[in-house]
Amino acid sequence: MNWLLTPLAWANGLSAQDLLGLFGHFLLLSMLAIGGAITTTPDMHRYIVKEQGWITDAQFTASVAIAQAAPGPNLLFVAVLGWNVAGPLGVLVTMLGIMLPSTTLALHATRWGEARRDALGVRAFTTGMAPLTLGLLLSTGWVLSEPSRHSVGATLLVALTVLVMWRTRLSPLWMVGLGAIVGMLGFA
């Protein structure tokens, strides 16, 4: 019963300093999350997998995939990563880190921007954010495809998905279903 009284026992062996570092890193990423937290996935991967070695590349990719497939907010993957790194305390640390600054800033910026939505500077800023968001999403896709890049089937499936999404109005769920079938059959 003593482990219930010791919060760090819930942290899967991470020290208080590790948890503070994890919190600080997600706090910084929150301010860089233009287009949503998913756009910061490459740096989360760099920090959690490459630098700290807390989870493997496959665990990271599975965490993001499981969270994205589950119903609920897009931000759910941060909680799953936190859980896999440090259990319940990891969820608390990563979610507070990613939510606190961006939520506060978004609240104030939205109110300020709404009052000035017709100003040239505000319109230029919002227009300029589109290519930045697209670039961040592409880098996220690159990092998440790393475990399956060696597979010809997976590469062809990604190329087909990009082509179908670019040229048609077909729901992306059809491509997700196709990917599930291709993966289930062992082709990707």
pLDDT in tens, 100-158: 998 898 899 889 988 998 999 988 988 898 888 888 888 888 887 787 778 888 888 88
Only one residue has tokens 């819930």, namely 10
- Using an 8 Å Cβ cutoff, are 93 and 19 in contact? yes
Only one residue has tokens 């996220």, namely 140
**Tokens at 102, concatenated:** 């961006």
Reference 174, options 184, 166, 164, 185; nearest CA is: 164
For 5-22, the pLDDT digits (tens) are 455 555 678 899 999 999
Percentage of the chain exceeding pLDDT 90 = 40
The count of other CB atoms within 10 Å of the CB of residue 146 is 15
